[in-house]
Amino acid sequence: MDLKGRDFLTLKDFTPEEISYLLDLSAELKDKKKKGIPVDTLRGKNVALIFEKTSTRTRCSFEVAAHDLGMGTTYLDPTGSQIGKKESIKDTARVLAGMYEGIEYRGFGQEIVEELAKYSKVPVWNGLTNEYHPCQILADIFTFIEHRGPIQGKTVAWIGDSNNMCNTWLQAAEVLDFTVHVSTPPGYEVESERAGLHGTGHFKQFANPMDAAKDADIVTTDVWTSMGFEAENEARLRDFADWQVDAEMMRVARPDAIFLHCLPAHRGEEVTAEVIDGPQSEVWEEAENRLHVQKALMEYLVLGRVNP
């Protein structure tokens, strides 16, 4: 079991054992960071951070993770490189792999990050595509485990759009053996093929979001309009109006349920201020955990197992 030299493009790229190792490593790195114990295992190495869409958390957590580990970073912004415009993804992958020990990519179609990984001899991390957001879901699962213990057998209620976050939760459920209750407005249902599902019974669909939230251990949602879908914003504001996580919805979940949101959030749309700023919300720790989990992802994919 060694992830050295591999890529992280979807949640299904890792086995349950590999995920378990990564989450243990995340906990260890978080603990050391809190205690001020330096871990610079990637000293002298460099990572390229490609962003074709905007970002706060993903960029900052990759940069701080890299710097803490001793790595240099180059940030390529949505307009400042040749990628996909003046130069093919294939050529970009070969050029960057000659200079860097790893590449993070945030952008549009999943096929782009897959092409990048295919031609890169160094690891590629998916920092969000239209289809998936695996770094975020690993951080979300880490956050749940920190607060409530193992996620196996638990229920996650996904309320709202069947977007990149929803697809990745569904993949995680198949790998780690928990259940996702999904409620979307009509016309926005999960596309099983896009989510890469195999009908393993870890996914249940509900017309009524209150039914999806019932007895859930995690209630989670995301913006009604994801990056790249802005043209649909007006229609979505109308169509998603009843898919808001509010206090009434939290009350039908388990009494110890936590609320998660990858952020950025729109209070008054997909979630009320009362819930996201309330006692069951763990969104700030969830955001911080991006740092610790990505540190583990970077160390493990570049070096393999440091501690057997």
- Cα–Cα nearest to 204, from 184, 175, 222, 224: 184
For the chain, give me the number of helices (H) and strands (E)?
A: 12, 9
The residue annotated as part of the active site, out of 57, 202, 262, 292, is 262
In angstroms, what CA-CA distances link 142 with 44, 62, 257, 285? 28, 17, 15, 10
Nearer to ligand CP among residue 151 and residue 262 (C-beta): 262
Picked from ligand NVA, ligand CP, none, the partner binding residue 56 (CB below 5 to 8 A depending on kind) is ligand CP
- Fill in the DSSP letter of residue 22: H
Q: How far apart, in whole angstroms, are the C-alpha atoms of residue 91 and residue 118?
A: 11
Q: Is 129 in the site for ligand NVA (CB under 6 A)?
A: no
Residue from 69, 262, 275, 296 binding ligand NVA (CB under 6 A): 262
Q: Tell me how far, at minimum, the Cβ of 162 lies from ligand NVA, in Å.
A: 10
The residue annotated as part of the active site, out of 59, 222, 261, 292, is 222
Nearer to ligand NVA among residue 29 and residue 128 (C-beta): 128
Nearer to ligand CP among residue 189 and residue 230 (C-beta): 230
Picked from ligand CP, ligand NVA, none, the partner binding residue 155 (CB below 5 to 8 A depending on kind) is none
Q: Is 222 in the site for ligand NVA (CB under 6 A)?
A: yes
Backbone angles phi, psi at 209, to 5 degrees: -60, -30
Contact segment (CB under 6 A) with ligand NVA among 34-42, 86-94, 222-230, 277-285 equals: 222-230
Q: Is 210 in the site for ligand NVA (CB under 6 A)?
A: no
Q: How far apart, in whole angstroms, are the C-alpha atoms of residue 274 and residue 1?
A: 44
Q: Give me the residue label for tokens 């407005």.
A: 185
Binding mask 41-60 for ligand CP (x = CB under 6 A): --------------xxxx--
**Strands annotated E in the chain:** 46-51, 72-76, 102-106, 124-126, 155-159, 179-183, 203-205, 218-221, 258-261
Residue from 95, 145, 263, 303 binding ligand CP (CB under 6 A): 263
The residue annotated as part of the active site, out of 110, 136, 244, 294, is 136
Residue 106 bears catalytic tag? yes
Q: How far apart, in whole angstroms, are the C-alpha atoms of residue 185 and residue 206?
A: 10
Is residue 158 within 8 Å of residue 183, measured between CB atoms? yes
At a CB cut-off of 8 Å and minimum separation 6, what does 236 contact? Answer: 161, 224, 225, 229
Picked from ligand NVA, ligand CP, none, the partner binding residue 171 (CB below 5 to 8 A depending on kind) is none
Q: Is 218 in the site for ligand NVA (CB under 6 A)?
A: no
Q: How far apart, in whole angstroms, are the C-alpha atoms of residue 254 and residue 153?
A: 14
* The pair of three-digit structure tokens given for residue 159, joined into one six-digit string: 């309320």
Residue nearest to ligand NVA (CB): 226
* The pair of three-digit structure tokens given for residue 13, joined into one six-digit string: 């790229």
Q: Is 252 in the site for ligand CP (CB under 6 A)?
A: no
Q: Is 227 in the site for ligand NVA (CB under 6 A)?
A: yes
Contacts of ligand NVA in 81-120 (CB under 6 A):
none
List residues binding ligand CP (CB under 6 A): 55-58, 128, 136, 262-263
Catalytic residue set: 106, 133, 136, 222, 262, 290
| Residue ranges in contact with ligand NVA by CB under 6 A | 128, 163-165, 222-223, 226-227, 262
